[in-house]
Amino acid sequence: MEEKICQSCSMPFTKEEDFGTLKGGGKSDEYCVHCLKDGAFTQDITLEEAIAQCVQYADMAGVTKEEALAYAKQVFPTLKRWNQQ
């Protein structure tokens, strides 16, 4: 089974608390808690800004900043949030 990831930042969903919330309080099955709250994106940023921002989480993901940047440039444009622009 394919790992489910946030369709904005590509964070993997590993536990129930990772899922963002919809308007009315339901859980989103597409966006994480960091990207979606009460049915709205938590940041109004461009794809390029999102890619640049992901580099700060490289250590947490266990990769180098260069690897994080290369991954984000490849994957982010395919994610639902950015693919619709």
Q: Find out whether 64 and 46 touch, Cβ atoms under 8 Å.
A: no
Q: What pLDDT does 85 receive?
A: 56
**pLDDT one-digit tens code per residue, 34-73:** 999 999 999 999 999 999 999 999 998 899 999 999 999 9
Tokens 């800004």 — which residue?
Answer: 49
Residue 22 — φ and ψ, nearest 5°?
A: -95, 165
This prediction has a pTM of 0.89
Tokens 């990772």 — which residue?
Answer: 18
Distance CA 73, CA 67 (A): 10
Strands 27-32 and 40-41: unpaired
